Structure 1
């Protein structure tokens, strides 16, 4: 397809990454967002997110990660600054799982380093951890944190400079992927192609995804550690706790961010129009899990409990496919979305340019 005009619905990371890929290929782009840009209720809006090469038994994702890191490197070059901080990933098991062995097999194939950590040294190296029941600890390279709000903000500024037209606070009522149009109130906006990247709202605009892509209300907590552990946390890696009773992921405080704790248990419930303020019910399991991961967790001071909405599929896969003659949809799955967004958005853009919409 010769460069023309593409309409993108959604200004979260997938929508902005798709716009970025399109602009690089000479397309005129208009982006429609139901709230401000960036939108604080979008799934993408966060202080920091984990990225990594180890993916357990999800080998297909692992094989994509070298390309995903390279796509972000290309984005940093365009933005003129990087929003990634490399960090080791410390993964520990409480009982046998197949996650570490599956991850290290993929990492060996990719040439990414990793090493076992002697369990007798864990408490000395990481005094914040509860080592009860810990059966294995592994340090993995090729990981770190992305800074979503900074990325979204810089992308919006960069794209506007490149001529992208933003329609903020503009809810889209309907999408016609056969005609390449979006309808806002009584106004129909036309383009040569339309991409729906509407996050947790995607099935409202692409009804065929209802039941396949399910909104899932998730919770994280931002906390301040006890003062005697502040120095240890300032130099801490990313932690994954693989345990039935714990099962947390934890991002240490970085400049401009707070200590964040979450889990990877999908609720598969909720309406994305709900408040993002975390409730007692949202964090009940998370507090119990964190109490198993960290010593004296009751001494950590809560700063904020926050809910967000992921979209979830049964097999945790992305939805990237053509819809109609002049439409595409891009919907991430859970927290995998942000780390792979630069790559997926660029692939969708490349498919539109080639006249063969990308299918994942």
Structure 2
């Protein structure tokens, strides 16, 4: 591009990397994307049938305040790619223990003007016949959430970026990054740029020591299921369901728009190697099976269609703050922690691009992506 503002290399073609490439391209930068596998990469944690998006964030109130902007940026992205890969709807929470969730959610949703309400427990069996009501203490419905469809988003975003002149390097494994010189080595060849953004997901610690003290890879199990016949109709119209309990914590996405019923585990393993396989073993799904049996009636009668492993980076201190920061003179490191990365992908990418473009200070970009901004600061971003 003759009118380019400079050349940026992005390492990683998951939602964080592609969103950053999108935000940089919109600002007039020449962008190259390096990915160790195909683009999109089926091994990437971003590559999934559907993911939850919502405004309720529990004790992570700073991220709740960012969600209106995250939704708006997704709408901009959808407009660019020409498809709205989003199914809006309510998100229901089933509380079974004294978990620290309701008070901060009530406070943040009230401040945001987002609707929520208690559902009488007596209504649960009729509305959700698949729910196990024993030990159920509270049911809360929150508005303006829903499901994103990652495979479709990543595919269409890749096409759009290519059409805008982005250069892709598929099957290009990066082995070395010099954060001061702005160079990297991929497949034995050196490449140079004005800036480098490392958005390598669970592989981040293999490329930089910058966040190694803060994050660790986490091997996480999910299962795709076919429900018993008597629950099929209920699942067809079900919203996103999240079970919150010390033993029963799960998140569940219903089958929608060609996807399968999916249930996942809230508890982070903080173990495993991102270079490992993506096939879940009996040991991987042991806790998930136990938790799902506490959340859903007759769970032993659900047919397992696939057991899958994905890898996240999660914080060692359980804070779940995203680790996004400059490294050296010419590099940014992006580590979106704890599985929240997809719903916030465009927001994180836009924040990093804004810092590179000089629209936001590095310090503010770090605070933004870590969810440390208050409501008024978040609103001021537009």
* TM tier, smaller: over 0.9
2:142 equivalent to 1:140 = yes
Of 100-109 and 11-20, the range deviating more from structure 2: 100-109
Verify the 8 A CA contact 1:91 1:100 in the aligned structure 2: no
2:80 equivalent to 1:73 = no
Deviations 1:184-229 (A, max 9, x none): 2432111110000011111111123223220000000100001121
Which residue of 1 is the match for residue 104 of structure 2?
102
Which residue of 2 is the match for residue 359 of structure 1?
366
Which residue of 2 is the match for residue 339 of structure 1?
343
Of 106-115 and 183-192, the range deviating more from structure 2: 183-192
In structure 2, which of residues 13, 18, 40 is the aligned counterpart of residue 16 of structure 1?
A: 18
Which residue of 1 is the match for residue 32 of structure 2?
30
TM-score with structure 2 setting the length: 0.92
- Residues in 2 aligned to 1:165 and 1:18: alpha-carbon distance in whole angstroms: 14
SS of residue matched to 2:144 = coil
Which residue of 1 is the match for residue 380 of structure 2?
none
SS of residue matched to 2:278 = coil
User: How big is the shift at 1:98?
Assistant: 2.6
Verify the 8 A CA contact 2:172 2:187 in the aligned structure 1: no
- Residues in 2 aligned to 1:233 and 1:341: alpha-carbon distance in whole angstroms: 28
- Residues in 2 aligned to 1:102 and 1:151: alpha-carbon distance in whole angstroms: 31
User: How big is the shift at 1:40?
Assistant: 0.8
Which residue of 1 is the match for residue 354 of structure 2?
350
RMSD across aligned positions (CA)? 1.1
SS of residue matched to 2:283 = helix
Of 147-156 and 182-191, the range deviating more from structure 2: 182-191
Verify the 8 A CA contact 2:13 2:39 in the aligned structure 1: yes
Deviations 1:140-199 (A, max 9, x none): 002101111111101100000000000000001111111111112432111110000011
In structure 1, which of residues 52, 58, 61 is the aligned counterpart of residue 60 of structure 2?
A: 58
TM-score with structure 1 setting the length: 0.98
User: How big is the shift at 1:97?
Assistant: 2.3
Which residue of 2 is the match for residue 324 of structure 1?
328
Instruction: Work out the number of aligned pairs and report it.
Output: 359
- Where structure 2 has 5 or more consecutive residues not aligned to the other structure, the ranges are 368-382
- Residues in 2 aligned to 1:234 and 1:184: alpha-carbon distance in whole angstroms: 46
User: How big is the shift at 1:37?
Assistant: 0.4
SS of residue matched to 2:210 = helix
Of 284-293 and 173-182, the range deviating more from structure 2: 173-182
Which residue of 1 is the match for residue 170 of structure 2?
168
- Residues in 2 aligned to 1:348 and 1:166: alpha-carbon distance in whole angstroms: 20
SS of residue matched to 1:144 = strand
Verify the 8 A CA contact 1:278 1:305 in the aligned structure 2: yes
Which residue of 1 is the match for residue 310 of structure 2?
308
Verify the 8 A CA contact 2:44 2:310 in the aligned structure 1: yes
Which residue of 1 is the match for residue 183 of structure 2?
181
SS of residue matched to 2:343 = helix
In structure 1, which of residues 295, 298, 308 is the aligned counterpart of residue 297 of structure 2?
A: 295
Query: Structure 2 matches for 1:35-54, cutoff 5 A?
Result: 35-54=37-56
- Where structure 1 has 5 or more consecutive residues not aligned to the other structure, the ranges are none
- Residues in 2 aligned to 1:288 and 1:164: alpha-carbon distance in whole angstroms: 46
